[in-house]
Chain A
């Protein structure tokens, strides 16, 4: 998914709702992204990693460990 402006919007919106991100928001943010997009887009995970100063690999490893997170959009939404 190329990171178009439209694609960033839901993320920006949810960030606004969160206010200033704290370390203990990380899992909540991942959940909110999954709920907003139906998946966790790569560029957005990258952004979370930068915002929270967390290694991207670590977040990726975490996300892939749950059946409830997806990396690619579900087929139906394509």
Chain B
């Protein structure tokens, strides 16, 4: 069977000119905002809650609940942050939306702000999105002129303003607590929760942090209603996911599919044209560079969080990275660690040091210089980091290495130097 697209958030991408308010409006843009402004904030939140939408930033937290928690706090002002720091290896979905249908994302932000009672908004871009960020600055000015942002949006009395931040080359700044610290001008480090940002976020104010794709889903849910949204995807995992196919594929692709509508293998075949060389797939990381490897026998797994988890990995950001036969799994693990190995925020001792040590050891393995004990060391470090670290970074980065060791132990073992002194 071949995979099929279900276009909701990507509906206008490549069809309606982006950054063009007229065109956006002409394509039914802003209607959801108008509707949301006519509803009570609680009703908007309720609708999103009922839709079952969960966050698309990786952690999969129920969006409506997050809004409710933020809305519940009493404070003189609150923040809504759009997390556009997309830095996960093999993930380009947010970028597509930010430049392909930016008005949708802004509309989603405004509705979210209305729902949680936030008067201030921040969108935090990955450093690589500099030119998109510049276009956003302009778009925000246009929105203010069109009364879509400002002190009195569309005459509703609701006020919301958005500021643009441009990241400075740190992947970890995408983690929500580090993101908040970054905006505050502190060292971008995470911290333990509670308190959650919804209670004590940016500058201590209640703060709702949402991913770009999450917010992009909001206008349609508000406009068409929760029931419509619930009709898409699986019963326990609703809507669509914007997947990124990369790695050893013929063509890198970003496509939107209904949750559970196709398997990994189908998506790879249909959208990316199969593997680059035509050789069979050896392994995939289904949820970006920090997700565990799945071996070829798991390719029939549908693209849905539960199923992927059962198979031993996680859907994360739905960045599907493909490795074909012949691709050394050691090399694959090394490139993951090279990417993440310098990204610890440095706060948790095990993550800060563990990333660096693991990368060192992996490189020794890759170079054929590692001793037999090295693999156990990797396992020990990985395990300790995963169970003892504060945030998703320290908990997840060992995944690829640990899973590779489990799935392809012989590839690592064959790289080891035989111990010259066998007694040690």
Contacts and interface: CB of A to CB of B under 8 A. Distances in A.
A36 to B, nearest CB: 13
Contacts of B173: 66
B185 A54 contact: yes
Which interface class (under 10, 10 to 19, 20 to 34, 35 or more) fits A? 20 to 34
B70 interface: no
B120 to A, nearest CB: 7
A65 B187 contact: yes
B169 A68 contact: yes
B122 interface: yes
Contacts, number: 59
A61 B187 contact: yes
Contacts of A27: 165, 182-185
A62 B188 CA distance: 7
A65 B186 CA distance: 9
Contacts of A75: none
B127 interface: yes
Nearest to B203: A23
Specify which of B164, B185, B186 lies most central, judged by the most chain A CB atoms within 10 Å of its CB: B185
A58 B182 CA distance: 12
A46 interface: no
Interface string B316-327: 000000000000
A66 B203 contact: no
A24 B183 contact: yes
Contact of A31 (B79, B120, B168, B346): B168
Given A31-B165, A31-B168, A68-B167, A24 B203 contact: yes
A6 to B, nearest CB: 26
Interface string A25-40: 1111011001000000
B164 A28 contact: yes
A54 B168 CA distance: 20
Contacts of A26: 183-185
A48 B45 CA distance: 39
Interface residues of B, number: 23
Contacts of A23: 184, 203
Interface in A50-73: 52, 54, 58-59, 61-62, 65-69
A66 B165 contact: no
A30 B169 contact: no
Nearest to B186: A62
Contact of B169 (A25, A28, A62, A66): A66
A66 B169 CA distance: 6
Given A24-B120, A24-B203, A66 B188 contact: yes
Contacts of A58: 185-187
B3 interface: no
A30 B164 CA distance: 13
A31 B203 contact: no
A34 B185 CA distance: 14
B406 interface: no
Interface string B149-182: 0000000000000011111111001000000001
B186 A24 contact: no
B284 to A, nearest CB: 29
B202 interface: yes
Nearest to B79: A24
Contacts of A62: 182, 185-188
B361 to A, nearest CB: 24
Nearest to B184: A26
Interface string B352-376: 0000000000000000000000000
Interface of A: 23-28, 30-31, 34, 52, 54, 58-59, 61-62, 65-69
Interface of B: 79, 120, 122, 127, 163-170, 173, 182-188, 202-203, 346
8 interchain residue pairs of minimum CB distance: A68-B168, A26-B185, A68-B169, A66-B168, A67-B169, A65-B187, A62-B187, A61-B187
